[in-house]
């Protein structure tokens, strides 16, 4: 047995022919030939005959042929073509290949090319019946809760719409790309048994990402391992479109085994080769139409799931930057400047002990508190990282960098403080007895996604994250709601009035577990939002801090005690001064060392 490969203008065509020994094949330009070279006008209507044998393929030119045939540049009329030899007619070259016995049962006599443009122009002879079948497609998609349901309904719909189909299956290939996997199949008559699909047909379809049609020779021997065993003489396979995954078309590429495809097989009614081919092309057009609709809707559902999953992590501007196709390459981990916000609930352990008999109610309140935090993080363009119990992590500067990112982190912190202040003022509010503490730090980190295409989580790594956590913990000891590091303090002071909040330096401190000290500051609402703490109060407080760091504790005491009575930022320094009788220790270096984690 031999295979005939076809090259037109030195380009290998999708079409190939399997030639059984001792059978005569007619080669010509028209569809009534066994080997129809419709693409080449230099090939006559009936140009030649081919007769395969064990020695090769015997070629004989018809007397009616208007153009010669060439082998190795020489004109031939009657020639035995050995495996590896080619014969050229017009712009087409036919190459003979030997087919081993192990390959032959799975090989079609013809692999017919599918011309998408011709399919578009093709008119259905039974359009009314096909339209009637298509009217049920929306219900099939709508009522299919899981993939299994969808496959069952699609298979039955295709059997109803393709008159000569005897079997329909949803198929894919094993991980090795060798074994066909039937996800679901339906036979027109249950007693006919199961379909044994051709792995070669499925592989060609998934590799090329387009419909491939195989037509078998009815007179060739059959093998129980392949589709023709059931009496079928044609089969085609149509892939579901998957625009989200690029197709590697290189020779070394492996089949895309993860994608499903529709496998339809049956028997032609014997109305002539041309009529049968037109009917098959109409069936392919119908199947591709259904596959395109289902694939597009599945893609839309996937996008909606991804958008829904990403929406909890990213603000609308970030989602817009990712685009409708969710180009998650933008989310790949990389080192960048970030501003990290760590927000926790104060006194949560105490609440948990008090409400041990109503943990569900407590969980609902904690969820509401976390929603307040994350909504403000997203509102100001931040990214939400993993939740840690009753704490939320947000960060700015990734995946999109911005000069406003550090200030937006501070704006989010002030907004969170404001929301909890409103809840505290309302005795009926479920968060009335909750308070928050927030730490914000700015620096280098690695930020990026972790997970799969369907489920993406994001996180940030680096010392700046640890610093933000330490600052949040220190807010309890320093009696302020929001602490920021010295880098953010400088950014805000140099902002030339473009920022709504204020800052006041509190302390030169070495946080627990860290090697480098820093001056920490409180992030304070604007004078309009917190009028009881005036700009003069803040200026006096910072003079007191300078004198405290310099070791002039008596003068520091005087400035610190000029604060409003309900301002507790002075308490920590006042306690330090009082414990040492307003006199700095002899070894004082201006740095307060925090001795335990969490303040």
pLDDT, tens digit (0-9, with 9 covering 90-100), for 500-528:
899 999 999 998 888 899 999 999 999 99
Q: Give the Cβ contact number of residue 116 at 10 Å.
A: 10
Q: How confident is the model at residue 351 (pLDDT cuts 50, 70, 90)?
A: low
* Residues contacting 253, CB < 8 A, separation 6+: 207
Judged against a pLDDT cut of 70, whether residue 270 lies above it is answered with no
User: Nearest Cα to 180, choosing from 155, 167, 197?
Assistant: 197
Across the range 197-201, mean pLDDT stands at 85
**Domains recognised in the chain with CATH numbers:** 2-10+20-99 (2.60.200.20), 110-286 (3.30.450), 316-593 (3.30.70.1230)
* Alpha-carbon span 485 to 487, nearest angstrom: 6
**Could you report the per-residue pLDDT of 416-462, keeping only the tens digit for each?**
999 999 998 998 888 888 889 999 999 999 988 776 655 567 788 89
Compute the C-alpha angle 320/324/399, nearest 5°: 40
Contact 443, 337 (CB under 8 A): yes
- Cis link prior to 97 (omega < 30° from 0)? no
Lowest mean per-residue pLDDT among 47-56, 101-110, 184-193: 101-110
* Beta-bridge mates of residue 119: none
User: Nearest Cα to 373, choosing from 386, 360, 356?
Assistant: 386
User: Nearest Cα to 563, choosing from 539, 592, 529, 530?
Assistant: 539
From its phi and psi, is residue 84 left (phi > 0), alpha (psi between -120 and 50) or beta?
left
* Alpha-carbon span 184 to 155, nearest angstrom: 8
Judged against a pLDDT cut of 70, whether residue 491 lies above it is answered with yes
The pairing of beta strand 334-346 with beta strand 391-396: antiparallel
Q: How confident is the model at residue 486 (pLDDT cuts 50, 70, 90)?
A: very high
Compute the C-alpha angle 21/25/28, nearest 5°: 155
b/e map 189-220, b = 16+ CB within 10 Å: eeeeeebbbbbbbbbbbbbebbbbbbbbbeeb
Compute the C-alpha angle 37/40/42, nearest 5°: 115
Compute the C-alpha angle 56/61/64, nearest 5°: 160
User: What's the pTM value of the predicted model, to 2 decimals?
Assistant: 0.53
Residue 576: DSSP 8-state: H
pLDDT of residue 249: 36
Contact 50, 72 (CB under 8 A): no
| 310 or 278, which is more confident | 278
- CA dihedral (494, 497, 502, 506) in degrees, to 10, reads 20
């Amino acid at each position: 047995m031999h295979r005939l490969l076809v090259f037109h203008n030195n380009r290998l065509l999708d079409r190939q022919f399997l030639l059984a020994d001792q059978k005569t094949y007619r080669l010509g330009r028209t569809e009534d030939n066994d080997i129809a070279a419709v693409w080449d006008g230099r090939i006559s209507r009936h140009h030649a005959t081919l007769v395969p044998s064990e020695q090769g393929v015997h070629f004989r030119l018809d007397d009616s042929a208007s153009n010669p045939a060439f082998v190795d540049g020489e004109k031939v009329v009657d020639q035995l073509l050995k495996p590896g030899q080619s014969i050229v007619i017009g712009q087409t070259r036919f190459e003979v290949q030997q087919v081993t016995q192990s390959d032959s049962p799975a090989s079609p006599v013809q692999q017919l090319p599918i011309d998408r443009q011709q399919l578009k122009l093709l008119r259905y002879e039974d359009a009314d019946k096909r339209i009637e079948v298509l009217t049920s497609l929306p219900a099939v998609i709508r009522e299919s809760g899981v993939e299994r349901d969808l496959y069952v309904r699609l298979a039955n719909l295709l059997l109803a719409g393709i008159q000569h189909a005897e079997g329909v299956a949803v198929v894919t290939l094993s991980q090795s790309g060798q074994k066909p996997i039937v996800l679901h199949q339906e036979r027109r008559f249950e007693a006919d048994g199961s379909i044994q699909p051709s792995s070669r047909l499925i592989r060609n379809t998934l590799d090329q990402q387009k419909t491939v049609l195989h037509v078998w020779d009815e007179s060739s021997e059959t093998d129980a391992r392949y589709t023709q065993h059931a009496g079928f003489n044609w089969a085609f396979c149509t892939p579901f479109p998957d625009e989200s995954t690029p197709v590697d078309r290189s020779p070394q590429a492996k089949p895309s085994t993860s994608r499903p495809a529709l496998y339809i097989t049956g028997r032609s009614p014997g109305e002539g080769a041309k009529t049968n081919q037109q009917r098959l092309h109409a069936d392919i057009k119908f199947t591709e139409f259904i596959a395109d609709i289902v694939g597009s809707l599945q893609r839309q559902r996937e996008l909606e799931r991804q958008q829904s999953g990403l929406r909890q992590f990213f603000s609308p501007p970030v989602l817009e930057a990712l685009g409708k196709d969710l180009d998650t390459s933008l989310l790949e981990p990389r080192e960048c400047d970030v501003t990290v916000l760590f927000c926790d609930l104060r006194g949560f352990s105490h609440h948990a002990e008090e409400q041990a008999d109503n943990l569900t109610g407590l969980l609902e309140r904690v969820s509401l508190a976390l929603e307040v935090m994350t909504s403000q993080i997203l509102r100001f363009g931040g990214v939400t990282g993993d939740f840690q119990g009753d704490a939320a992590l947000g960060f700015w500067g990734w995946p999109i960098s911005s000069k406003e990112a550090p200030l937006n982190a501070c704006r989010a912190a002030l907004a969170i403080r404001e929301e909890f202040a409103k809840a505290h003022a309302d005795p009926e509010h479920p968060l009335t007895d909750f308070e928050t503490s927030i730490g914000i730090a700015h620096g280098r980190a690695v930020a990026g996604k972790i997970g799969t295409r369907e489920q993406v989580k994001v996180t940030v790594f680096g010392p700046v994250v640890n610093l933000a956590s330490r600052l949040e913990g220190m807010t309890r000891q320093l009696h302020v709601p929001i602490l920021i590091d010295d880098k953010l303090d400088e950014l805000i002071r140099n902002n030339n009035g473009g920022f709504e909040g204020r800052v006041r330096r509190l302390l030169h401190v070495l946080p627990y577990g860290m090697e480098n000290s820093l001056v920490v500051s409180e992030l304070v609402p604007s004078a309009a939002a917190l009028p009881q703490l005036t700009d003069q109060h803040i200026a006096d407080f910072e003079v007191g801090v300078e004198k405290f760091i310099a070791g002039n504790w008596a003068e520091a005491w005087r400035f610190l005690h000029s604060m409003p009575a309900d301002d507790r930022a002075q308490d920590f320094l006042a306690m330090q001064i009082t414990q040492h009788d307003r006199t700095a220790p002899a070894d004082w270096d201006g740095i307060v060392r925090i001795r335990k984690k969490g303040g």
